[in-house]
Amino acid sequence: MPRDGGHRGAMHPRPEPVIALHRRREHGGLPIDDRKLARALRDRTHVRVVPGSYVAARDWRALTPIDRHDVRIVEAVDRAQGAVTLCCFAAAAVWGIDQVAAWPQTVDVLVPRTSGGRSSGVFRRRTSTSGDLETAEWRGHRITTPAQTALDLARISGFTSGVIALDQVLWRRRAGGPLTSLDRLASTLEVDARSRGRARARAALEFSTDLSDSVRESEGRVLIEALGFPPPVLQKRFTLPSGRLADVDYYFEDFDHVAEFDGVGKYLDPALLAGRTPEEALIAEKDRGDELQRAVRAFSRWRTPAHRDPRLLYDILSGAGLPSRRPRPPAGLIFR
């Protein structure tokens, strides 16, 4: 059986998303207008979260991808026959370990290998013969701890996804503090007897950091290394001529070169806007960028397309004078 993770001080599941759900089980056996429901699903005014649970499409679209998966998890486990143990992507959503890839349509649960790994319905059954997997209590069920969850994702995913997961649990500026520590991750990996994916998880752990403020920053850091550029200093703080402080994503110290991923969230997310209009946020970011450009020798900025096509990122950085030990990658190359 999985062991209790203990070490609860740093573990805190994020608040569950608030959304109005329509559930068959709440009708107390009264008849449902199936024809009306089918029309709502066909017209896409409503979305099926799991069988028997539905939500207005506009409310569903307003949620972030990780929040949508979190809602699906809660609806699935609340109708489960007996207790379950969440793991992998399901556990990641509950803990707030974000990712860049699409979230699955099924909910990951851990089962002993002797019970079989066949998945059906809303659950994806992931088997394990190890009795040393760390778990904690959650809503009357069990869930793998943040350390175990991040390492499991690193085992089953590519290097980039593994680094993103590990960076997320170590993130020092997370509200409420990091979900775990580097020492905890190392000890959790050490006692996990499974050999599959172990080397992959160890490599991702060695590359991880507590300084990446977003999944895209983590992804960018992996790409910078894969493209042969020198390792940057992360979250370097500059005091700009205006007196404002600027913490930059990447700083290549030997070349006095600042580089940043420019995500659109800062112009659209109400929490990041902090009462400003998108236009005000855009102007403020432009002023910040102009000041940074005057403060350093070179300045690079890119958006998501440069992660999807690494040649774009290579051209942006090398075009600004940053040297690489590798040639420009061929078209279609994807680093995983």
pLDDT tens, position by position, 54-87: 999 999 999 999 999 999 999 999 989 899 999 9
Lowest mean pLDDT among 6-20, 202-216, 308-322: 6-20
Query: What is residue 102's DSSP assignment?
Result: P
**Residues 155, 258 within the same domain:** no
* Residue 116 confidence class, pLDDT cut points 50, 70, 90: low
In the predicted model, is pLDDT for residue 10 greater than 70?
A: no
* Residue 9 confidence class, pLDDT cut points 50, 70, 90: very low
d(CA 252, CA 234): 9
**Residues 197, 139 within the same domain:** yes
pLDDT of amino acid 114: 60
118 vs 121, more confident:
121
* Count of Cβ atoms closer than 10 Å to residue 26 Cβ: 10
In the predicted model, is pLDDT for residue 30 greater than 50?
A: no
In the predicted model, is pLDDT for residue 149 greater than 60?
A: yes
In the predicted model, is pLDDT for residue 124 greater than 60?
A: yes
In the predicted model, is pLDDT for residue 264 greater than 80?
A: no
Query: What is residue 319's DSSP assignment?
Result: H
Q: What average pLDDT does the structure give for the chain?
A: 89
Task: Tell me which residue range forms the domain holding 28.
Answer: 18-62
**Residues 119, 222 within the same domain:** no
pTM: 0.89
d(CA 235, CA 251): 8
d(CA 14, CA 234): 26
In the predicted model, is pLDDT for residue 271 greater than 80?
A: no
How many domains would you assign to the chain? 3
pLDDT of amino acid 128: 77
| Radius of gyration, alpha carbons of the chain | 22
**Residues 121, 196 within the same domain:** yes
Within-domain flag for 147: yes
**Residues 120, 74 within the same domain:** yes
**Residues 76, 192 within the same domain:** yes
Q: What is the mean pLDDT of residues 130-150?
A: 91
